[in-house]
Structure 1
Amino acid sequence: MDRRIKLIFNPHADNGRGWRVASALQATIEQMGGAEWTSTEHPTHATDLALEAANDGFEVVVAIGGDGTVHEVINGLMQVDSERRPMLAAVPIGNGNDFCANVGIEPDPSAAIQRAFSGEPKGLDIGMVTDASGRTEYWDNSLGIGFDAAAVIHSQAITRLQGTPMYFVAAVKTIIRDHHAPHFKIRTDSEEIDNEFLMITFCNGQREGGGFILAPEARPDDGVLDYAMVEWVSRLKMFRLIPEFMRGTHGRFKEVHLGRFRELELEADRPLLIHTDGEIFANSTSNVQKLSVQVLPKAIRLLV
């Protein structure tokens, strides 16, 4: 039976070049049975469109864009009761495309779109973060505190590069300009941690930032979240760690802590920079110092 499919397209994806990709997909989509298109007009619009699609009874919602588009679509779908929640498909046309890489979706958009029509659903874990004010956000790939959140902010000002080179330059800028290590008290379902950290990243997938393998053992359907925490180190040592992050070999350094959890509570001694899937959750003026994080096992049905 044909699926009722809603396509949510971000025209600004890939630095505005997404229109060319979307046009090329039209013929394939029509050949496979057709779908209803809609495009985003402003930040967070994909969240509203995904919620609207769920309430209108669509069986599948397709995020056509980068990691930010997938993030917004998932935040819309998660506002719907699980029994009414549409299945998710994704077509990668962004800068990093980490989500699609982590879940095994082809980088070729024409191949990826076919999963919306003929793919089989597979359970996808989702992360949930809540701050002290009760504000909640869902994330599919990674949540970063400190270093990599600052790198996300720096990357937004880089327009001549894409993907891994862009995030590499942003990481270098962060080492030079944002070398801070707040003191954290962290409690998970299995351990307590009290230390100063330059970087804390919670991972549902192995990679972020267009190819930095922060959690080599992470799996997006194993019912747990992975973490990578880097204690205070010198700028020189942080430069040394960057290629290790890219290869996924950073766990051999004593200043790097890798682990897993299902639930976590965190408190810092100062306001934090935080991103969720590359979208800023808290900046320097947000005054967020306390968080709770948990995994929602197989909360989304992903077509693969």
Structure 2
Amino acid sequence: MSRLRVGLLANPTAAQGTAHRVGRQVGHLLRLAGISVVDLSGPSAPVARARAEEVRDSLTALVVVGGDGTVSLGAEIVAGTPVRLGIVPAGSGNDFARSLGLAVNDPETSTRALLHALSRPVVTIDAIEITAVGEHAPSQRTLALGNVNLGFDALVNARANSTRTGHTIRYTTAVLRELPAFTPLPFWLEVDGGERTEIDATVLTLCSSGMFGGGMQMVPHSRIDDGVLELATVSGIGRAQLLRLFPRVFAGTHTTLEAVDIRPVREVVVGLRHGRTLRAYADGEPRAVLPLRARVLPGAVRLLADLAPGTDTGADDEGAP
């Protein structure tokens, strides 16, 4: 019997139950390969987290089955530990998995990739730590692996989450519904400990993978292992220009436009002037209400993946567990 012990955490509701079915298949195939598998899935994220944290120290890897939100949950569980994070994409968006070139809704291909990665050197990737700031802000932190959405993109994410159509379709529909009443948001920013600046921006996104919204390539050159994030802003454009911008974001050809600014950062504190309330979204899930602090945690997560050629990652040389 293999000494490898893998925890399996499937989101029972992702993609209307698809993740639960895919998770069972992956668990069966891993056991056939001689891997010891413990099912950590639960009826809710807190229950699944508690189960995983209870046995985490005994695991070689934690395999999560679901969408971007489930991947973020897995990252929070294993970050800073020797446990590797395996990803089986089976959610509605799967943007982070797509940025890694992973097969979607394909249990056999996913299982082969996981088994192969178990024999490969450990790959480390960055995480984004998100905490609310302010006198009465809760101290709890959350982690994301892909992106933090802070502007019009956050409002669109919130609306898209309230519908049950296909991810790309519902995101595009949410853009069209949010657009008529939208005006640029009055942000203040403190970047890498610098002085506070003000900007009226339409889109404000902090990127590690640079992909969200069912394939939008907000920052095509983003890397998940370089120890920095990209702060992408879109400002100085009206609604009609914004509508024309979004098709270019899917193709990644928007970055040369004058309205788009992309710069590397390690930490950002961001809030809104004039007392407006806005909740940030990260990897498709609601996070802290602004103001918040987001910072990169270099190499915080060990990834269990044999990545597609051309994917930029860092691999340490200590070998497989």
TM-score (norm 1): 0.88
Matching residue of 1:268: 272
The answer to whether residue 298 in structure 2 is matched with residue 293 in structure 1 is: no
Q: In 2, distance between residues paired with 1:43 and 1:66? A: 13
Matching residue of 1:105: 102
> How does 1:139-288 map onto structure 2 within 5 Å?
139-159=144-164, 161-188=165-192, 193-269=197-273, 270-282=276-288, 288=289
Which has the larger displacement, 42-51 or 165-174?
A: 42-51
- Alpha-carbon offset, residue 192 of structure 1: 6.8
Out of 106, 121, 141, which is 1:136 matched to? 141
Residue pair 2:92, 2:167 contacting (<8 A) in 1 also: yes
- Alpha-carbon offset, residue 36 of structure 1: 1.4
Cα 1:64–1:142, aligned 2, differ >3 Å: closer, same or farther? same
Q: Which amino acid aligns with 1:204?
A: S
Q: Which runs of 4+ in 1 moved over 4 A?
A: 189-193
Out of 48, 51, 61, which is 1:49 matched to? 51
- The count of corresponding residues between Structure 1 and Structure 2 is 293
Question: What SS does the aligned partner of 2:297 have?
Answer: strand
- Alpha-carbon offset, residue 19 of structure 1: 3.4
Aligned-residue Cα RMSD (Å) equals 2.1
Which has the larger displacement, 13-22 or 231-240?
A: 13-22
Which has the larger displacement, 263-272 or 91-100?
A: 263-272
Residue pair 1:13, 1:66 contacting (<8 A) in 2 also: yes
- Alpha-carbon offset, residue 277 of structure 1: 1.0
| Cα distance per residue 1:101-132 (max 9 Å; x no partner) | 12232223322233433303200101112211
Q: In 2, distance between residues paired with 1:135 and 1:16? A: 29
Residue pair 1:263, 1:292 contacting (<8 A) in 2 also: yes
Cα 1:245–1:31, aligned 2, differ >3 Å: closer, same or farther? same
Q: In 1, distance between residues paired with 2:195 and 2:215? A: 29
Matching residue of 2:89: 92
Q: Which amino acid aligns with 1:58?
A: L
The answer to whether residue 7 in structure 2 is matched with residue 3 in structure 1 is: no
Residue pair 1:75, 1:137 contacting (<8 A) in 2 also: yes
Cα 1:53–1:98, aligned 2, differ >3 Å: closer, same or farther? farther
Q: Which amino acid aligns with 1:213?
A: Q
Q: Which amino acid aligns with 2:110?
A: A
Out of 105, 109, 112, which is 1:114 matched to? 112
Q: Any gaps of 5 or more consecutive residues in structure 2? A: 306-321
- Alpha-carbon offset, residue 144 of structure 1: 0.5
